[in-house]
Structure 1
Amino acid sequence: MKILHIDTGKGWRGGQQQVFNLHLELTRAGVDSHLITQRGGELLRRSEGAGLPVYGLPLLGEWDLYSALKIAGRLKRGGFTHLHLHSSHAQGIGVLAAMLSGFRNVIATRRVDFEPKSGVLNRIKYGGRIKRFVAISEAIKAILLAFGVPEEKISLVNSGVDPDRIKPGSGNPFRGELGISEGALLIGNISALTDHKGQRYFIEAIPQILLKAPEARFVIVGSGELEEALKAQAAGLGLNDALTFTGFRSDVDEIMDALDIFVMSSHMEGLGTIVMDALAASKPVVATQAGGIPEIIGEDRGAGLLVPPKDPAAIADAVLELIEDEGLAVSLAAAGRKRVVDKFSAKAMMEGNLALYRELDYG
């Protein structure tokens, strides 16, 4: 068995973390796993740093003929048994490479919870060249079914995280950087600053939280097209002293450790692996009932507090409940970590994909 993975993301978001986790765990399990990703990208850098087999290509857009030809050559000569595509653009390039090389054993993982657009090109991407689709949540599976993908071509494999990656105490320097005193509450969100992540609803909730918890501090970690708009919103609400925007940070594990409460404010979400990271780090979580997030949390108050999407008042009420009821916060944090260890580990995610590779045999 020899697997070729393709991911086109240049930055570092949840999808790239999942590809890295899968590549690493497969290699640890003795599987011959190889990765093609974008030149100069963070996934390339981290994979090289971990000593994993990785190659850089331009991967420009979803129908990059040059990259497709290069990949087709590897498929013809490299002895690969499976081609696993991990992003929408990778799906376009990978399908084209498979058509050029005659390769048939193609798998595509879908992580985003909006329906693919109709059109000829997407019908090619989601057509017969893909042997199996991997949905990372039941919510994603439902979207693929609605688009017309036959159920027998869909396998459910949840994303997973390393439950021991975030080290207790590693966040102390970040708290010092922000001037957070010992015992003060730090409440935060770590996500790309895009519309579907819903940070504007978190920001709108902050004044309501401050009315009852005036010493609380807040942080939003990430970059994206809405950064300036969100900063303007915060300034308009007079939050300059209470809320910090960090921009992109490479030390998100340490920042997660620094938090006392994690808030996930998305109104669309394929699954939400950053929520898994927060639970694994034993953080009390307030999260929206969006996409696959409830599949992580389980029933409300099982491993976190669930609130409706786009509802700042509900976010504020849930955060205040955790602040005011320390026993609830502690019990949810413990239940959340147990849930990730039992159900959403990176090793479990690797084993789910490996079972699929074996089911599809060697092409």
Structure 2
Amino acid sequence: MKILHIDTGKEWRGGQRQVFILHKNLLKNNIDSFLVCNENGILYSKAKDELQNVISLPGNIFQGIFNLKKILRKINPDILHFHDGKSLNFIEFMPASMKKIETRRVSYPISFFSRKVKYSLCDYHVAVSEEIAEYLRQFFKNVFVINSCIEIDRFVLKKPKNPFKKRFNKNILFVGSFSKQKGIEVLLEAFKSVVEQIGDVGLHLVGGGSLEKDLWKMVDDLGIVDNVLFYGFQKEVEQFYFFADLVVVPSVDGEGSSGVIKEALASGKTVIASNLDANKEIIKDNYNGILFENKNKSDLSNKIKLVLNHKIVLDKNKILETAKQFSCEKMTYKYIKIYDEILNKDGRL
């Protein structure tokens, strides 16, 4: 069985981490796995140093097509696995004889053109949540759900070092890209009320993106400069979770299967998340996490205050048990099962 994975992302986001983990685990299971990724991306720079069978791909689409065809002739994979929307730009140039699978990680609608020209050429579709799967089933057959995973061992720290620039009595953590879908503006507005009532509380923002300058201005306008700290993009975030009292995931749309929620669970931390359908697939309200009404800053600030004032206290064992449901071993096994099914149907196994 030869699997060739394609991911064109430049940043190191949740999707790139999942591709890295899947490729690594397939190799551990003695499967001929190959990873093709953007030569200018963080995924490539990390994977080429740590894993085998990692191949670079030019960012230019035309050069990329030419190089990818050369790679296919050399490797002759049984299955092409596309891991992001842009990687599907190559699909119409790939041999029809090769089986194709794509993983959909976001809940945004797919344009009519993309459905017809790109996604329809896939033999199988994997959604990281039931919400995404229901959408895909409107248009395609062979749709499966495989949740993204969490490497639980990453969050068992023996000698943690506090990464916070300033120590507060209470510390709230946000991890993610600074984009509209992540709802950071809602969090900042809610946090202003928390500062006014609790005082010695800090909000630590780990990430970066197009909204960073706007967020700096918003923090200044809200008068909470002394309580909000920016850390930029961080490859490793485990110590931030360790020293946080609370993790907030205020995403307003587009979530697939939130990696940040799972990271918080693996750290044994209470997480407050917006009540998007995808988040509700992971969090059972007031059992292993807390949900607030999407985009509602008042509801979010009230939930934060209840947690920080110990009016809501969740069972840490239930939080950790939930994280185990999303182990990377389980995710890898499910992908191998689908690969086997594809090749069995095609008579290759």
TM-score, reference length from structure 1: 0.90
Aligned equivalent of 2:96: 102
Q: 2:148 aligns with which of 147, 151, 159?
A: 159
Query: Closer, same or farther in 2 for the Cα pair 1:137/1:170, shift >3 Å?
Result: farther
- Tell me, yes or no, if structure 1 residue 71 matches structure 2 residue 68: yes
Aligned equivalent of 1:26: 26
Q: Give 1:255 deviation, angstroms.
A: 1.8
What is the identity, as a one-letter code, of the residue corresponding to 2:327?
S
Pairing of 1:242-261 with structure 2 (within 5 A): 242-261=227-246
Q: Following the alignment from structure 1 to structure 2, what is the Cα–Cα distance between the partners of residues 316 and 169?
A: 33
What is the identity, as a one-letter code, of the residue corresponding to 2:317?
A
What do residues 38-81 of structure 1 show as CA deviations (whole Å, max 9, x unaligned)? 11311112212223321111133xxx232123222322331311
Q: Classify the secondary structure of the residue corresponding to 2:282.
A: helix
User: For the aligned residues, what is the CA RMSD?
Assistant: 1.7
What is the identity, as a one-letter code, of the residue corresponding to 2:149?
G
Q: 1:114 aligns with which of 105, 108, 117?
A: 108
Q: 1:91 aligns with which of 84, 88, 91?
A: 88
Whether contact under 8 Å (2:103, 2:126) holds in the other structure is yes
Q: Following the alignment from structure 1 to structure 2, what is the Cα–Cα distance between the partners of residues 192 and 171?
A: 24
Aligned equivalent of 2:333: 351
Q: Give 1:257 deviation, angstroms.
A: 2.0
Whether contact under 8 Å (2:306, 2:312) holds in the other structure is no
Query: Closer, same or farther in 2 for the Cα pair 1:282/1:254, shift >3 Å?
Result: same
What do residues 90-119 of structure 1 show as CA deviations (whole Å, max 9, x unaligned)? 1122x1332xx3333100000011101122
Whether contact under 8 Å (1:115, 1:144) holds in the other structure is no
Q: Following the alignment from structure 2 to structure 1, what is the Cα–Cα distance between the partners of residues 327 and 221?
A: 41
Aligned equivalent of 2:118: 125
What is the identity, as a one-letter code, of the residue corresponding to 1:209?
V
Q: Classify the secondary structure of the residue corresponding to 1:275.
A: helix
Q: Give 1:353 deviation, angstroms.
A: 0.7
Identity of aligned pairs, percent? 26
Aligned equivalent of 2:219: 234
Q: Following the alignment from structure 1 to structure 2, what is the Cα–Cα distance between the partners of residues 168 and 259?
A: 14
What is the identity, as a one-letter code, of the residue corresponding to 1:229?
D
Q: Following the alignment from structure 1 to structure 2, what is the Cα–Cα distance between the partners of residues 2 and 354?
A: 11
TM-score, reference length from structure 2: 0.94
- Tell me, yes or no, if structure 1 residue 292 matches structure 2 residue 278: yes
Pairing of 1:125-204 with structure 2 (within 5 A): 125-127=118-120, 129-146=121-138, 148-150=139-141, 153-168=142-157, 171-175=160-164, 178-180=165-167, 184-204=169-189
Q: Following the alignment from structure 1 to structure 2, what is the Cα–Cα distance between the partners of residues 170 and 106?
A: 44
Whether contact under 8 Å (2:267, 2:320) holds in the other structure is yes
Q: Following the alignment from structure 1 to structure 2, what is the Cα–Cα distance between the partners of residues 135 and 70?
A: 28
Q: Following the alignment from structure 2 to structure 1, what is the Cα–Cα distance between the partners of residues 63 and 277?
A: 35
Q: 1:278 aligns with which of 249, 264, 267?
A: 264
What is the identity, as a one-letter code, of the residue corresponding to 1:23?
H
Pairing of 1:46-61 with structure 2 (within 5 A): 46-60=46-60
What do residues 132-191 of structure 1 show as CA deviations (whole Å, max 9, x unaligned)? 000000111122234x223xx20111110101112336553303xx1316xx21101101
Q: Classify the secondary structure of the residue corresponding to 2:22.
A: helix
Q: Give 1:274 deviation, angstroms.
A: 1.3
For structure 1, the 5+ residue unaligned runs are: none
Q: Classify the secondary structure of the residue corresponding to 1:263.
A: strand
Aligned equivalent of 1:2: 2
Whether contact under 8 Å (1:114, 1:143) holds in the other structure is no
Q: Give 1:30 deviation, angstroms.
A: 1.5
- Tell me, yes or no, if structure 1 residue 335 matches structure 2 residue 318: yes
Q: Give 1:198 deviation, angstroms.
A: 0.4
Q: Following the alignment from structure 1 to structure 2, what is the Cα–Cα distance between the partners of residues 80 and 104?
A: 8
Q: Give 1:284 deviation, angstroms.
A: 0.6
Q: Give 1:326 deviation, angstroms.
A: 6.9
Q: Classify the secondary structure of the residue corresponding to 1:292.
A: helix
Q: Give 1:323 deviation, angstroms.
A: 1.3
Q: Following the alignment from structure 1 to structure 2, what is the Cα–Cα distance between the partners of residues 239 and 169?
A: 34
Whether contact under 8 Å (1:189, 1:220) holds in the other structure is yes
Q: Classify the secondary structure of the residue corresponding to 1:310.
A: coil
What is the identity, as a one-letter code, of the residue corresponding to 1:106?
K
Q: How many residues align?
A: 344
Q: Following the alignment from structure 2 to structure 1, what is the Cα–Cα distance between the partners of residues 170 and 158?
A: 15
For structure 2, the 5+ residue unaligned runs are: none
What is the identity, as a one-letter code, of the residue corresponding to 1:118?
F
